[in-house]
Chain A
């Protein structure tokens, strides 16, 4: 696995597990949304990472894996002030809706570590931090950022 496959795996998993607020079309992407996009949206962006030698003898001609990759991601939830969604019989609006999606992101990543391991070979997912941005006056967007760290074996 490498960076492109890792991002795709993360986006695919979020798309498959978090219920969409929209009637049709994708709403989770690997880049920041345009201001004229349809909200709510979730963006998945790579921040930084490191590649460490996994052990003595890695990588040699006999070894399959060369590096232990640790990559950080920002998962941003974007919600317009008046966006409204019903989830499990409750109606969520604005900041409450933003927090709901942040909760769902954290839940699905935390509960499905085993699935990530068996399906994609991702060794671990850690939730590093949660931060909230002030309301953007121009765009009327609420935004919450969940920073996560993924580790996997970098193959070549």
Chain B
């Protein structure tokens, strides 16, 4: 089983590579619950619930285009894709930034953080 590191991955937003991304986290939650029949001691099945796709990305350098995505009354949708060493690609469709923050330190690098939610995802590879 191959092991990959961050330098072997690429993150794209609407097909354009994100520059200087420090960290991206993606979480897919199926709201899985156990179903136990009456009079049974054991779980009869695992029941999927609503799918929740959330994530967070941290970037160096403030990009006004990203700020604009959270600075309007209506949030715009975009797609994200994670390409790992050209081996497989994880697509995250119809994302919206739910929260954005900018950190301007007196010394050091300007950073921006965004939380996003998505409607759907798919894996190719």
Instruction: Please list the residues of chain A having a beta carbon within 8 angstroms of any beta carbon in chain B.
Output: 53-60, 62, 126
Q: A56-B23, A58-B20 are in contact. List 19 more A-B contacts (CB 8 A).
A: A53-B6, A54-B60, A55-B6, A55-B20, A55-B22, A55-B60, A56-B6, A56-B9, A57-B6, A57-B9, A57-B10, A57-B17, A57-B21, A58-B7, A59-B7, A60-B8, A60-B10, A62-B10, A62-B17
Judging by beta carbons under 8 Å apart, are A56 and B107 in contact?
Answer: no
- For chain B, the count of residues having a C-beta within 8 Å of the partner chain is 17
Provide a sorted-by-A list of 7 A–B residue pairs whose CB atoms are within 8 angstroms: A53-B6, A54-B60, A56-B6, A56-B21, A56-B22, A57-B17, A57-B21
Among A53, A57, A60, A126, the most chain B Cβ lie within 10 Å of the Cβ of A57
Residues of chain B at the chain A interface (Cβ within 8 Å): 6-11, 17-24, 59-60, 107
Secondary structure of the B side of the interface? Answer: strand
The 8 Å CB contact of A54, one of B11, B17, B20, B23, is B20
By secondary structure, the A interface counts as loop
* Contact across chains for B11 and A57 when beta carbons are under 8 A apart: yes
Chain B: minimal CB distance from A21 (Å): 32
